[in-house]
Structure 1
Amino acid sequence: MRDIFKINTITSWILCCFFNFLIAAIMGLLMRFVTLFHFSNIKYSFLLHAHSHVAMLGWVYMTIYALIVHLFIPKDKSCKPIYNQLFWITEFTVVGMMISFPVQGYAFFSIVFSTVHILLSYVFCKLVWKDSFREKTPEKKLLSAAILFLVFSTLGVWCLGPAINMLGKQNAFYQIAIQFFLHFQFNGWFLFAVFALFLKQAKVNPDKESFNKFFVLLILSTFLTVALPISWYVKNEMLKWINIFGVFLQITAFMYFYKILKPYVLYSKTDLNIRIKGIYGLVLFSLVFKIVIQLLNVMPDLAEVSHQIRNLVIGFIHLTALGIITGILFGVLIENKILDNKSKILGYGIKTFALGYIMNELLLFLQGIFFYSGKGKLFGYFEGVFIAGILIVVSIILIIISILNKKQESIY
């Protein structure tokens, strides 16, 4: 009975997460509509805040929440009402942000919902820490680091209020606080969490020494590479060298990670479904591309202007959020049979998503390169990213339909 309850609960949670993802994608598409057709009735900045918050906190956070409970919390504890209640209360804050940000931007109600979401995340961290960390397995070490990074990242948020009151939004400290939060959310909490989920699903028994080197190096590199966004607002030569050291530590860490996953890679060549292979292939390509970009940012001139070219910044964020984090989440969801791997509709959805994602990244980075080299606007750029946005929206709708079909089949 508990197993049935857990399956039904996780399916409902994931369905909710994909609806959040759909809303975030529609908001992203609306932003491109505003730009392409010069539609002035919608406040672009308000929509941007809504899109980013719903994507991060409604899709990525909530999906990681669901999968942590499903994979890491023992059955007798994951069925406790508190996890289900906390999920839906947290979802209420996400819905609040969906409504308040497009209407008022950063103002009273949106700040309240965002703040409550953070406080609820602390409750989740406490529950996971209490119910999960009895054994110090590699995947639980990654999860413990992810939980600590989640809490640590929110220090940036708590600094925003004092920064605005004392120094104003244009001050360097305010901008650094935002970058601090984003860096440790994406490169700390999100990445460590999805790596933990992947390692748990892959059932790899890594060599202890190799894993510990990977683990320590990745943590150190995460702390050191925050020097890059800080260097955008504080001119200090030392920050450049700290970032360079952090990037090389990260490369070394992923070399150990590949060594750990080598048995899984060899197994996947023969036994894994072609759809899952394709997803993880896209994740690997995105991860390598992310590291290459970080290496390029070691060059002083590029590091100086890269954050000023909006297309490059957006491309890098989507590379991490869609290519790596969402890619791993898709893979874990399919391998756990939460998404039906036999569904043709799911297959169309995954392929459409991959096409939209690749098209989006190509256009964003090409346009960024054009601006960097002084060549101006790329022909058909706005039309292209709008079409890519449509593809991503369609892909999420197809995945939702596949979940609804699976749920209906399970009822009968």
Structure 2
Amino acid sequence: MNSFLSKWLSISILNLSFVAALGLILRYKIAYSLPFLDQKYILHSHSHFAFSGWITQTLMILMIFYLSKTLGKEIISRYYWLLYANLISSYGMMISFIIQGYGLYSISFSTFNIFAFYAFAIYFWQDLNKIKEKSTTKLWFKASLIFGVISSIGAFNLAYMMANKMTDQNWYLASVYFFLHFQYNGWFLFAGMGLLNDKLEIITGERKKLYRAFQLFCFACVPAYFLSILWLESITNIYYVLIVPVAAQLAGWFVLLKVCNNNRSMITQKITKHGKILLLLSALAFSIKLILQTGSIHPELSHISYGFRPIIIGYIHLVLLGVTSIFILGYIVSFELIRINKLLITGIIIFVAGIIINELLLLIQGVAAFSYTGIPYINEMLLGAAIILLTGILIMLISRFRIYEKEHRLKKINSI
């Protein structure tokens, strides 16, 4: 088993447990009370660490491993300092946001984190160019890096507004959605698609269709940002123009699904049973996301969706947990990038169950909000979902530590 992946993916799962623990605190504060902790500070810590400490860190690890398969294991050492830089700055953000919210230390760590990503983007781009073979995978990865860099514009603008106590609500929300869009519809999505495309090209050989899917998604990414800010009166006249990027995304997804369906038997032979289920769940979540995004073109639906907090929270969690996190775990399990055992699978099952319960509860809360109807004990039930999520991750973590300890002992014995 690859020692690089074993160590660093174990750290990623540890980071995911911190994300879940912060989410649990947020839910507890809503249901009950923790007066000595500021809700907004915990929320900033939770969201920033989820993006950088869990998803970005793990995507970096998997992308570096992709390079090592072509350019040799020696390439990994070139990235160690970047992984540590991202990790340290992520921990710095997690702690400093809890203590002070947006302030000197949290903004400094956030800035350091962004520049660490810039360095990763430069390094990875250079190394991708060393791979002579033409591949759509390289295009997915390059686009992901570009969109990741673009997303930082929103982050810098937010930091500037917070530091200068600017209170323009529309500008603030537009910056938030700018960062979010180019993170999860840009960096996260395109990096994940790059990892998936690498496997699909090898298994199916359908390079032309996979390239067409990339073209459609890439074309749609930038204009699709305006779907996030349709509540701004200044752009209400572009609703129907946005049908084009929405249609492009749907067409791109249809092409990918068709490739997978046409080569179903070959793909099934190359991935594990549990990995297949996880990837299918991630695909289902992504399909739901695209359907909701399509519905947001309608003016009334757009205003309704952005007017109710449970709907926004449910959508963000659908993307970050249902699509991205399940995909990452599914990808790791599908191709057995770490040692898989029953305890790890049990943890993943509980974690996924927690995601499904959480999304269903948020859906119920969101629908009820339309008629301003309160759901009895909804906050306590959401707290229960958060406990299930954390429990699943802790079981995964125990599994990883046991395996890592065993691998470490075997390594010592073999070196004697």
Is the partner of 2:307 in helix, strand or coil? coil
- Asked if residue 98 in structure 1 is aligned to residue 94 in structure 2, the reply is yes
CA-CA distance at 1:128 after TM superposition: 0.6
Aligned counterparts of 1:349 and 1:80: Cα–Cα separation in 2: 29
- Asked if residue 122 in structure 1 is aligned to residue 118 in structure 2, the reply is yes
Is the partner of 1:289 in helix, strand or coil? helix
> 1:208-223, aligned counterparts within 5 Å?
208-223=207-222
CA-CA distance at 1:8 after TM superposition: 1.9
> 1:186-205, aligned counterparts within 5 Å?
186-202=184-200, 203-205=202-204
- 2:15 corresponds to which residue? 20
| Amino acid paired to 1:172 | N
CA-CA distance at 1:258 after TM superposition: 1.4
Is the partner of 1:379 in helix, strand or coil? coil
* Of 256-265 and 245-254, the range deviating more from structure 2: 256-265
* Of 109-118 and 346-355, the range deviating more from structure 2: 346-355
Q: 1:408 to 1:201 in 2, by over 3 A?
A: farther
Task: Report the number of matched residues.
Answer: 405
- 2:56 corresponds to which residue? 61
Q: 1:347 to 1:163 in 2, by over 3 A?
A: closer
Q: 1:388 to 1:171 in 2, by over 3 A?
A: closer
Q: Please, which runs of 5 or more residues in structure 2 have no aligned partner?
A: 411-416
Aligned counterparts of 1:64 and 1:299: Cα–Cα separation in 2: 34
**How well do the aligned residues superpose, as a CA RMSD in angstroms?**
2.0
Contact (CA 8 Å) 2:365, 2:378: kept in 1 or not?
Answer: yes
CA-CA distance at 1:271 after TM superposition: 6.0
- 2:168 corresponds to which residue? 170
Aligned counterparts of 1:204 and 1:357: Cα–Cα separation in 2: 30
Q: 1:126 to 1:12 in 2, by over 3 A?
A: same
Aligned counterparts of 1:381 and 1:265: Cα–Cα separation in 2: 40
Contact (CA 8 Å) 1:268, 1:277: kept in 2 or not?
Answer: no
CA deviation string 1:12-68 (max 9, x = no partner): 211111111111110000000001013322100000000001111000000001000
- 1:401 corresponds to which residue? 398
Contact (CA 8 Å) 2:154, 2:178: kept in 1 or not?
Answer: yes
| Amino acid paired to 1:170 | D
CA deviation string 1:326-380 (max 9, x = no partner): 1121122123423333x110111111011100000000111101102x1411223
Aligned counterparts of 1:160 and 1:282: Cα–Cα separation in 2: 34
* Of 113-122 and 206-215, the range deviating more from structure 2: 206-215
- 1:377 corresponds to which residue? 374
Question: Alignment partner for residue 353 of structure 2, among 352, 355, 358?
Answer: 355
Contact (CA 8 Å) 2:22, 2:46: kept in 1 or not?
Answer: yes
- Asked if residue 86 in structure 1 is aligned to residue 82 in structure 2, the reply is yes
Aligned counterparts of 2:295 and 2:346: Cα–Cα separation in 1: 35
Contact (CA 8 Å) 2:305, 2:311: kept in 1 or not?
Answer: yes
| Amino acid paired to 2:13 | F
> 1:217-296, aligned counterparts within 5 Å?
217-269=216-268, 272-296=271-295
CA deviation string 1:261-297 (max 9, x = no partner): 2344333456643211210121121011111211221
* Of 66-75 and 233-242, the range deviating more from structure 2: 233-242
| Amino acid paired to 1:69 | I
Contact (CA 8 Å) 1:15, 1:403: kept in 2 or not?
Answer: yes
CA-CA distance at 1:231 after TM superposition: 1.9
Is the partner of 2:316 in helix, strand or coil? helix
- 1:38 corresponds to which residue? 33
| Amino acid paired to 2:243 | I
Question: Alignment partner for residue 50 of structure 1, among 42, 45, 50?
Answer: 45
Q: 1:164 to 1:91 in 2, by over 3 A?
A: closer
Is the partner of 2:203 in helix, strand or coil? coil
- 1:112 corresponds to which residue? 108
Is the partner of 1:136 in helix, strand or coil? coil
| Amino acid paired to 2:367 | I
CA deviation string 1:234-263 (max 9, x = no partner): 433333123332212211111111123234
Aligned counterparts of 2:63 and 2:8: Cα–Cα separation in 1: 12
CA deviation string 1:211-245 (max 9, x = no partner): 23211211122112111222223433333123332
| Amino acid paired to 1:330 | L
Q: 1:264 to 1:405 in 2, by over 3 A?
A: farther
- Asked if residue 70 in structure 1 is aligned to residue 65 in structure 2, the reply is yes
Q: 1:163 to 1:42 in 2, by over 3 A?
A: closer
* Of 233-242 and 211-220, the range deviating more from structure 2: 233-242
Aligned counterparts of 2:74 and 2:184: Cα–Cα separation in 1: 26
CA-CA distance at 1:299 after TM superposition: 2.2
The share of aligned pairs that are identical, in percent, is 26
Is the partner of 2:242 in helix, strand or coil? helix
Aligned counterparts of 2:89 and 2:107: Cα–Cα separation in 1: 10
- 2:153 corresponds to which residue? 155
Q: TM-score, normalised by structure 1?
A: 0.92
Aligned counterparts of 1:266 and 1:388: Cα–Cα separation in 2: 35
Is the partner of 1:204 in helix, strand or coil? helix
Aligned counterparts of 1:350 and 1:166: Cα–Cα separation in 2: 43
* Of 331-340 and 179-188, the range deviating more from structure 2: 331-340
| Amino acid paired to 1:385 | L
CA-CA distance at 1:80 after TM superposition: 5.0
* Of 167-176 and 375-384, the range deviating more from structure 2: 167-176
Contact (CA 8 Å) 1:204, 1:261: kept in 2 or not?
Answer: no
| Amino acid paired to 1:141 | L
Question: Alignment partner for residue 181 of structure 2, among 165, 176, 183?
Answer: 183
- 2:413 corresponds to which residue? none
Contact (CA 8 Å) 1:243, 1:298: kept in 2 or not?
Answer: yes
* Of 69-78 and 95-104, the range deviating more from structure 2: 69-78
| Amino acid paired to 2:108 | V
Aligned counterparts of 1:236 and 1:158: Cα–Cα separation in 2: 23
Q: TM-score, normalised by structure 2?
A: 0.92
Q: Please, which runs of 5 or more residues in structure 1 have no aligned partner?
A: none
